[in-house]
């Protein structure tokens, strides 16, 4: 069983290879990331992750069956960072990418979400990349993906950078003030 996206937020024909996703900040073929507050304010590398298909729809798993959404509709808010993995050159590469996402979506519809030490959103994205043997590798994992997005990802906007780093800076400031007062 494959999950069909809600095309109501898409401005072009959903069957065309490259519809315009309205106001998308994350391109097709990318990993998207958003902070999970208050966890991210303490450890800025921890957040929620999803992956976009060849048309730009976002697939982010959070413990229930996945439906493809507009790329601004992640579970914990609009994406703050992304890393583009592929630019599609032909229909075959689009189909291969989308088939891997569909397979991972269907597999993860039957998994239980266990953040950190079990299946989570990072594991779902890693599964897609492993199915694709992305970069010639079939052993991608959540730690690797978190590091890649943290160190190599781009912020979607100034707002994305602010919602990632301002809470962390406030947290560090409070820790410093607390430590100097003790």
Range of the domain at 80: 7-181
In a domain, 2, yes or no: no
Tell me what pLDDT residue 103 has: 94
Per-residue pLDDT reduced to its tens digit, 31-86: 999 999 889 888 888 899 999 999 889 998 876 667 777 777 788 888 999 999 99
Average pLDDT over residues 13-36: 70
Tell me what pLDDT residue 32 has: 93
In a domain, 1, yes or no: no
Tell me what pLDDT residue 21 has: 54
Q: How many domains does the chain have?
A: 1
DSSP string of 126-173, one letter each residue: HHHHHHHTGGG-S---HHHHHHHHHHHPEESSHHHHHHHHHHHHHHHH
């Amino acid at each position: 069983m494959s999950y069909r996206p809600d095309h109501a937020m898409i401005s072009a024909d959903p069957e065309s290879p490259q519809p315009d996703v309205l106001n998308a900040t994350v391109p097709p073929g990318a990993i998207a990331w958003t902070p999970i507050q208050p966890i991210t304010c303490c450890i800025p590398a921890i957040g929620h992750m999803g992956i976009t298909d060849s048309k730009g729809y976002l697939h982010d798993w959070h413990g229930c069956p996945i439906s493809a959404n507009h790329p601004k509709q992640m579970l914990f808010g609009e994406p703050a960072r992304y890393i583009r993995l592929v630019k599609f050159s032909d229909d075959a590469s689009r189909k291969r990418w989308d088939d891997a996402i569909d397979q991972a979506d269907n597999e993860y519809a039957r998994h239980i979400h266990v953040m950190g030490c079990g299946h989570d959103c990072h594991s779902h994205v890693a599964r897609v990349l492993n199915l694709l043997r992305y970069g010639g590798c079939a052993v991608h994992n959540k730690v690797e993906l978190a590091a890649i997005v943290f160190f190599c990802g781009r912020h979607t906007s100034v707002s994305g950078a602010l919602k990632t780093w301002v809470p962390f800076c406030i947290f560090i400031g409070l820790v410093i003030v607390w430590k100097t007062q003790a």
